[in-house]
Amino acid sequence: MKDSQKKRLTAMILAAAMAFGGNLTSYADWKQDSLGWWYEREDGSYPVSTWYEDSDGSWYFFNEKGYMISNCYRSIDSNVYAFGYNGKWTGTMFSDLLPGVWTGNNYSNEWSDFHLNIPEGYRIELASDTGTIENVETFVEFVVWTPDDSGSAIELEYADAYDYTSGTATTPEYVALMHGLRLSWEGYSIEGITNVQLGGKDYAKLSANRRGVQKRELYCRKVGDHYFECISVIYRPAGEAAVNVLLSGIY
């Protein structure tokens, strides 16, 4: 094809594109790169530091760089929301609650006045690593595992009083009792509920065991206006001493 013919054909294609450009369709779509997922609108923009509702009714939140957050709790407008591995808001929201902060081997939550110092060798597992956020009903802060490979650990979580029939009138003893009922379904024998102190604070303590080879405990107290702080403990006899070291680090 001669150069003059090529030029005329190119000009015709460009003219057609300009003439019909107004009818061309741009599609909004999910995009991904090495840093994560974002949602690109039809005009090329994308949501930043805001919510987005997908066509199936699922809600997502995008951070300050426009990337979707996932597998985490996130404080948004004074509420804490739970997001699953797929980035969808799980539907669970916690109001009037503030998470704590780890600084090295020391955890501190000024809101609940719970503090914990752990020795070297214990393994800290944050909520995003526990696999519990996807179907969470409580706010799980962390799990700390003992270094003796016995499968012994303590977990800190917060349960909302409004999830119970009596609301704010719910007592720590009742929360412990409900926990005991769930454990009994799992084959544990309930030893009882007593009142004890940890770090100078009063707790309702549930004790349970399964055939004498595995023990479970729950320490529960009321914090804030409508939350219960729950320290779940699991250990085998070989791990009891290491668990007691953890509990003695609460202040």
What's the whole-number mean pLDDT along residues 179-206? 97
Structure tokens at 179: 């926990």
Structure tokens at 240: 């009891």
CA nearest to 105, candidates 142, 55, 69, 71: 142
What's the whole-number mean pLDDT along residues 174-190? 97
Per the model's pLDDT, the better-predicted residue between 131 and 144 turns out to be 144
pLDDT value, residue 27: 58
Structure tokens at 94: 């916690």
- Give the CA-trace dihedral at 233, 238, 240, 241, to 10 degrees: -140
Instruction: In whole angstroms, give the CA distance from residue 140 to residue 71.
Output: 12
pLDDT value, residue 22: 44
pLDDT value, residue 134: 79
What's the whole-number mean pLDDT along residues 113-118? 98
pLDDT value, residue 129: 85
Q: What residue has token string 């706010």? A: 139
Instruction: In whole angstroms, give the CA distance from residue 135 to residue 45.
Output: 32
pLDDT band at 105 (very low <50, low <70, confident <90, very high): very high
What value does the CA radius of gyration of the chain take, rounded to a whole number of Å? 26
Render pLDDT for 25-51 as a digit per residue (tens, 0 to 9): 445 799 999 999 999 999 999 999 999
Going through 181-238 in order, the beta strands assigned E by DSSP cover 189-198, 201-210, 214-223, 227-235
CA nearest to 208, candidates 228, 229, 179: 179
Q: Is the pLDDT of residue 18 over 60?
A: no
Structure tokens at 212: 């004498």
Give yes or no for a contact between 89 and 81, defined as CB atoms under 8 angstroms apart: yes
- Where do the H-state alpha helices sit in 21-125? none
First to last CA, the chain: 86
Instruction: In whole angstroms, give the CA distance from residue 98 to residue 112.
Output: 8
- Where do the H-state alpha helices sit in the chain? 3-20, 127-130, 172-185, 240-248
Strand order through the sheet with 227-235: 123-126, 139-145, 153-160, 227-235, 214-223, 201-210, 189-198
pLDDT band at 6 (very low <50, low <70, confident <90, very high): very low
